[in-house]
Amino acid sequence: MTLDISFTPHPVGETMAHEPWKLSAELIRPLAADFNNGCVFLANVRARDPGAILPWGDSNVQLKLLDRRVCEPSSPAYNRPWTEAVEDQIQSVWRRIQAGELLDGPVVDLCDFDAIYDEEKNDLRVFDDWTIEKFRYDCMLRLWRTEVSAYNRLRPLQGHGIPRFFGTVQLRRSDIADSENLHPLFYHVPGLLLEYTDGQDLYHFSEAETRKDDTTGTFPTDEEQTHGRAALDVLRRAHSLGVSHNDIRRRNIIVRPNGSYVIIDWGCALLRSASQTDADWTEGLTKPQDLHELRWWLWGRWRYDMSPWAREPEPKYGYKHANERIEMFVRNKRRRAQWFEEIPFREPGFEKRIVDGEEIEWHYERWRLRPGVHTQDMYDGKLL
């Protein structure tokens, strides 16, 4: 299938003065089986004017379209797909609003529990289709604007851990004429044109493919560890450029064939505002949360060993959980030995004690951190 698209290159710079470029996009294949907010395609995008030189040359690119008609609804308040019947219905509402027969209300934030909950009925309020679709369109525009702003701020990282962002795309349904004077949600689809990363998202890498050789401690490899550290660094650098990804999960982490990572989907990003001080921004909870989540997902796929957490004995259990964390989380035994010395302990590894009249098992410390090894706090993004 081939689509006609209007394309505005970024950074906008001098091209701002010109009309958007008219391009044609041949869709090669979808990159995602289930669509969330957009539909993402591998595409061959060419100028309709044969002489034009495009920033991506002959390479195929990633075309992300934010199209409500195919996206998955995800909230109880607007949990239904787009259908022709809905479209007909809301078009007639729109026409009545235009004719002055109906009053149009504001966009209701259907993700805001207070806005959708009816206290009197003790239930969720029921919304009409027009309100739902206006909200969906508003959401998609916000996601699109956020992703565009994030990529623009992250220009120094583009091509190094995040895709290159070539520019924005506007698609217009050709079967709806300007003269119909419809609300843009009926015909307008915003999009982004991005560098295509060869690879698959982390979701595809099941735990089953683990190298099972636990005894010799050959996993994760040093190379994987280096790639993981580089990906964490991408998030750190993004934070310093005023962008927190805010949606780190397996589907948004692409693994290249050489094992390195590309972080995609910056539509939910938090952007530092001009009025935020360094302290306001740094203390925002999500900043270390991004790093924590990335470590977690990579660890879960046996691709990364997390550096040790600070270990304090607990009053009831002593070092029980601290020991378990080290044994569970640092899976490469060679690396474990680089970080820790084993402390000889008496079997069974704990002693019975009485605390507040209760008999407890107080566990001995089994691992001593070697001098100079950094630890991380569960939610601290600074150390690795």
Q: Which of 9, 21, 45, 62 binds ligand ADP (CB under 6 A)?
A: 62
Q: Which stretch binds Mg ion (CB under 5 A): 43-51, 243-251, 314-322, 341-349?
A: 243-251
Q: Nearest distance from residue 158's CB to Mg ion, in Å? A: 18
Residue 253 interacting partner from ligand ADP, Mg ion, none (CB closer than 5 to 8 Å by kind)? none
DSSP code, position 155:
G
Query: Across the chain, which distance is largest between two alpha carbons, in Å?
Result: 86
Q: Which among 46-54, 94-102, 246-254, 293-301 is the span making contact with Mg ion, rule CB under 5 A? A: 246-254
Q: Binding to ligand ADP by residue 251, rule CB under 6 A?
A: yes
Size (the chain), residues: 384
Which of 160, 170, 233 shows the shortest CA–CA distance to 197?
160
Alpha helix (H) residue ranges in the chain = 84-98, 113-116, 129-153, 222-240, 278-283, 286-300, 320-329, 333-339
Q: Between 8 and 252, whose beta carbon lies closer to ligand ADP? A: 252
Q: DSSP code of 162?
A: B
The nearest distance, CB 5 to ligand ADP, in angstroms, is: 17
Tell me if 220 sits within 8 A of 337, measured CB to CB. no
Does residue 37 bind ligand ADP (CB under 6 A)? yes
Region 260-279 residues binding ligand ADP, contact defined as CB under 6 A = 264-265, 267
* Nearest to Mg ion of 23, 63 (CB atom): 63
Smallest Cα–Cα separation from 369: which of 329, 323, 320? 323
Task: Copy the structure tokens of residue 245.
Answer: 């990804």
Beta bridge mates, 365: none
The C-alpha atoms of residue 3 and residue 28 are separated, in whole angstroms, by 11
Q: Is the dihedral of CA 66, 71, 74, 75 positive or negative?
A: positive
Give me the residues paired with residue 9 across strands: 167
Q: Give yes or no for a cis peptide into 106 (omega within 30° of 0).
A: no
- Nearest approach in angstroms of CB 1 to Mg ion is 22
153 or 251: CB nearest Mg ion: 251
Please, which residue, 62 or 131, has the CB nearer to ligand ADP? 62
Stretch of residues binding ligand ADP (CB under 6 A), selected from 16-24, 197-205, 222-230, 339-347: 197-205
DSSP 65: E
Q: Does 20 bind ligand ADP (CB under 6 A)?
A: no
Question: Candidates 37-45, 131-139, 282-290, 345-353 — which segment interacts with ligand ADP by CB under 6 A?
Answer: 37-45
Q: Does 27 bind ligand ADP (CB under 6 A)?
A: no
Query: Which residues are near ligand ADP by CB under 6 A?
Result: 31-32, 36-38, 40, 62, 64, 196-197, 199-201, 251-252, 254, 264-265, 267
Query: Which residues are near Mg ion by CB under 5 A?
Result: 251-252, 265
